[in-house]
Amino acid sequence: MSHIKAVFDPGEIEKCSLEIIDNEVAEPRPFTGRKWRVVRRMIHTTADFELLSLVSFHPEAIRSGIEALKVGCLILTDTEMARMGITFKRMERLGCEVRCYINDPLVHEKASDENRTRAAAAVDHAGFRLNGSICVIGNAPTALIRLLEIIKENDRYKPSLIVGMPVGFVNAPESKHLLLSQNQVPFITVRGRKGGSALAASVVNELAEMALEEKGECLTNV
């Protein structure tokens, strides 16, 4: 199998992968600068070049996300999978905490009593902690819909950034359309059915790299 590349170092594999993406997406690219870094990371995570036509950024998304990370914001995820996909070492260096409330007993009870999803109940449970946070939704459209309802009802619960990428067939495209239609909170999203926890987490990881660069941190493979 002589066609297999003799690359075994994790950092070198990542570097090679990003170079391949750069080479396969001809210039002029649909995204430039920091937006391209984020989209390239998303493609690296999924090997899905269709994302080039699906990703949407609010004009303030990159800046707002980086500034929030630099001051050690809370990151709230809709699933444990998304929480685990956000690299701990990066968050530790930035002083950020990543939380997911979906398995909290109070969330279970509230969801059962009100006959709705735990993901939606977890957004209510976050409450005031939403303010200034980065909300990462990669799985549950109900979480994104409820989050947007709360923001509309009370601007005291305004996140710094919504990474809204719920995946699926029932209300996933519709929930992202709602996100695109509002202008209260900066967002990064993927139009249509595609998304996922790993994809949403990859966005936060790339923004964290940028935040560390701005803070003058020495970057290592994490």
> How many other CB atoms are found less than 10 A from the CB of residue 104?
16
Give the active site residues: 44
Go through 118-139 and write b for each residue having 16 or more CB atoms within 10 A of its CB, e for each that does not: bbbbbbbbbeeebbebbbbbbb
Where does the chain show beta strands of DSSP type E? Answer: 55-57, 74-77, 97-100, 134-137, 161-164, 187-190
Contact 90, 208 (CB under 8 A): yes
CA atoms of 199 and 163, how far apart (whole Å): 10
CA atoms of 27 and 20, how far apart (whole Å): 14
Can you name the residues that pair with 74 across neighbouring β-strands? 97
